[in-house]
Amino acid sequence: MANSGEGKVVCVTGASGYIASWLVHFLLSRGYTVKASVRDPSDPKKTQHLVSLEGAKERLHLYEADLLVEGSFDSAIDGCQGVFHTASPCYTDVKDPQMWYVLSKTLAEDAAWKLAKEKGLDIVTINPAMVIGPLLQPTLNTSAAVVLNLINGAKTFPNVSFGWVYVKDVANAHIQAFEVPSANGRYCMVERVAHYSDIVSILHDLYPNVPLPESCVDENPYIPTYQVSKEKIKSLGIDYIPLKVSIKETVESLKKKGFVNF
Ligand SMILES: NC(=O)c1ccc[n+]([C@@H]2O[C@H](COP(=O)([O-])OP(=O)(O)OC[C@H]3O[C@@H](n4cnc5c(N)ncnc54)[C@H](OP(=O)(O)O)[C@@H]3O)[C@@H](O)[C@H]2O)c1
């Protein structure tokens, strides 16, 4: 799909974020011109990894925008053929019921669908589960921190299951959703549903010498038996990277960036 974006201008909101940074990277490598919104363009921790991407010098433009400031996205979106809207706080604290985060995502998606209907906009939503894989940005994002916590001396692991999905698959799905004419509706992205105990055992296979939490905080770990269909995402040409590979790449990236030392 190289050069599929040549001559096209798109906006990525929250561009310095974990998922969005990969999205900007893949858009630039496909030839797109990218108008990227960040909250603080003068903060190198938020922009340096973006401006040093291949193609950025010629085709990346940074804009300052905050969701809490009415109208602040207007100039970033102006003249774009597509908008990839990822800006939002991301929250995965497993000790907290997280209900406000889940509610915020549900309300935001609902509002987007209502607005699209009202204004006749063509939208597609991508709903990934827990996203892991290598980091482009220098700061730690919340979902990579979930893996870091397990290799950083924790004594127990939470009694929680999540769907897991690889960050590059998520970024690519966004682009495919824009490029594939038949893309429509919602795409739930889960490569595998796994309990923390599964994640710990994969980590043990990969890194037998690394101390890992030995037990679950709860005496009765609830192991899920459900799965999420992969059929719809296949129609966008996405063939998921397996969880074991995503975990390995997350750990290697955390090591490379100095978040963990072994
Ligand atoms: N990571 C996951 O596991 C996961 C799973 C499902 C859905 N998601 C969703 O995917 C999107 C990106 O997540 P991520 O993991 O890439 O998160 P991230 O690394 O924390 O990035 C979030 C981005 O949103 C921006 N942002 C936060 N509040 C904002 C505001 N008030 N105005 C403008 N921008 C704001 C942040 O800007 P600054 O850089 O200025 O702080 C940051 O660039 C979010 O909508 C998240 O809810 C993530």
**Digit-coded pLDDT (tens) for 212-238:** 999 999 888 888 878 999 999 999 999
CA dist 26 to 12, 41, 153, 262, Å? 12, 21, 35, 30
- What pLDDT score does 47 carry? 98
Of 18, 47, 188, the residue with max ligand 1 atoms within 8 A of its CB, to mutate for a pocket test, comes to 18
- What pLDDT score does 94 carry? 58
d(CA 194, CA 162): 6
Element (H, E) at 36: strand 33-38
- What pLDDT score does 221 carry? 82
Cβ of residue 19 lying under 6 Å from some atom of ligand 1: yes
Nearest CA to ligand 1 atom 11: 86
Closest approach atom of ligand 1 to CA 40: 40
Rounded average pLDDT over 72-83: 98
Cβ of residue 68 lying under 6 Å from some atom of ligand 1: yes
pLDDT band at 183 (very low <50, low <70, confident <90, very high): very high
Rounded average pLDDT over 137-165: 95
CA dist 147 to 79, 203, 209, 247, 254, Å? 39, 9, 16, 8, 9
For the cut 90, the answer to whether the pLDDT of residue 123 exceeds it is yes
- What pLDDT score does 125 carry? 98
Distance 115 CA to ligand 1 centre (A): 21
Cβ of residue 14 lying under 6 Å from some atom of ligand 1: yes
Check if the beta carbon of residue 85 is closer than 8 Å to that of residue 13: yes
Rounded average pLDDT over 46-61: 98
- What pLDDT score does 224 carry? 81
Average pLDDT over all residues of the chain:
95
Distance 30 CA to ligand 1 centre (A): 23
Distance 91 CA to ligand 1 centre (A): 9
Residue that the structure tokens 């750990």 belong to: 251
Distance 215 CA to ligand 1 centre (A): 31
Rounded average pLDDT over 186-206: 97
Rounded average pLDDT over 57-72: 97
Lowest mean pLDDT among 123-127, 158-162, 166-170, 211-215: 158-162
Nearest CA to ligand 1 atom 39: 16
Rounded average pLDDT over 101-117: 93
pLDDT band at 192 (very low <50, low <70, confident <90, very high): very high
Rounded average pLDDT over 11-17: 98
- What pLDDT score does 97 carry? 60
- What pLDDT score does 98 carry? 67
Distance 67 CA to ligand 1 centre (A): 11
Rounded average pLDDT over 54-83: 98
Closest approach atom of ligand 1 to CA 19: 16
Distance 160 CA to ligand 1 centre (A): 22
- What pLDDT score does 95 carry? 64
Rounded average pLDDT over 142-166: 95
Long-range contacts of 57-63 (CB under 8 A, 24+ apart): 59/28, 59/31, 59/32, 59/33, 59/34, 60/24, 60/28, 60/33, 60/34, 60/36, 61/33, 61/34, 61/35, 61/36, 62/15, 62/36, 62/37, 62/38, 63/35, 63/36, 63/37, 63/38
- What pLDDT score does 96 carry? 66
